[in-house]
Amino acid sequence: MIEKRKAPRGAVAPHMIERDSLFKLDVDDEIWQDVGLQDDVQDKIPLWLGDDNVRQGIKSLLELDRCQEEEKRLCKEREAMHDWMVEEWECVTEAINLCGTCILNFHHSISNIHIQMWMI
């Protein structure tokens, strides 16, 4: 359309994409650059495209978001492990109460000290 002069004024043709690399695109590849897709003519390159500090800031913000998501997942995992441990502990305590032998009580009291240290 540009060669036939039927494209809007200031339109920029996209870069050619090689067929072999079509499915091996990287975040910085030319296909993601939307320069020339807007109706208004701009003399200035957008900061997200031309300023390395802004680009690095965007990447850092995305990494922070992923870290916060991972922290939430880890908190849920910790809570699930804690709930599982409490349930297991209750089962062992009930088994000792039903059995009532001195050896089991001794092991239970020793294990209780270790478990309390883990749950802190």
Q: How confident is the model at residue 78 (pLDDT cuts 50, 70, 90)?
A: very high
Task: Look at residue 114 in the predicted model and tell me its pLDDT.
Answer: 65
Entry field: residues in the chain: 120
Q: How confident is the model at residue 58 (pLDDT cuts 50, 70, 90)?
A: very high
Task: Look at residue 81 in the predicted model and tell me its pLDDT.
Answer: 96
Residues 8 and 16: their CA atoms lie apart, in Å, by 20
CB neighbours of 9 closer than 8 A, spacing ≥ 6?
41
Most confident of 34-48, 52-66, 91-105: 52-66
